[in-house]
Amino acid sequence: MVMRSVQSILTPRRRGALVTEVVIAMGILTFAMLPLAFSIVREQKLTRAYFNRAIIMEIIDGEMEALMADEWRAFMPGAQAYPVRAEAAKSLPPGKFTLTLNGDRVRLEWLPEKKGKGGPVVREGRVMSPTSGTAGGLNK
């Protein structure tokens, strides 16, 4: 039995058709995979934003708990920067925590510097007013 090489079996016309099929197949594969690659990147950004928001909500809730337990008295009325003690705050995107005291209202919020980094998170509560003697609660 005589073995013939692949080169002798494929005529130039057949080789051209085979190369054309491979190029078309790669083009179809590229068109199918390109949107998938972009959706994966978008999904990663969205997941990171949700993760940051969850961390911020945990921090704000913990700090509001401390503020509602009479720590608010250490601050002056009005809006001011709020120092956060949580270690997790170091991994957050750039933003600022702001405490606002207005009468018997305590408001703690986090505002990101850039859009798409978790969005603002706000917690408000009513504290015991020295004049009314009524205690409030936490509003989310």
Q: What pLDDT, in 10s, does the model give residues 9-32?
A: 678 888 888 899 999 999 999 888
Q: Does residue 3 lie in a domain region? A: no
Q: Which domain holds residue 112?
A: 12-139
Q: Does residue 5 lie in a domain region? A: no
Which of 104, 107, 100, 103 lies closest to 134 in space, CA to CA? 104
Q: Does residue 7 lie in a domain region? A: no
110 alpha-carbon distance from chain centroid: 13
Length, in residues, of the chain: 140
Q: Does residue 4 lie in a domain region? A: no
pLDDT tens per residue across span 65-116: 999 998 999 999 999 999 998 899 888 889 999 999 998 899 999 999 887 6
Domain count, the chain: 1
Q: Does residue 96 lie in a domain region? A: yes
Q: Does residue 2 lie in a domain region? A: no
Q: What are phi and psi of 84, to 5 degrees?
A: -100, 135
Q: Which amino acid is at 71?
A: E
Per-residue pLDDT at 35:
86
- Local structure of 75: helix, strand or coil: coil
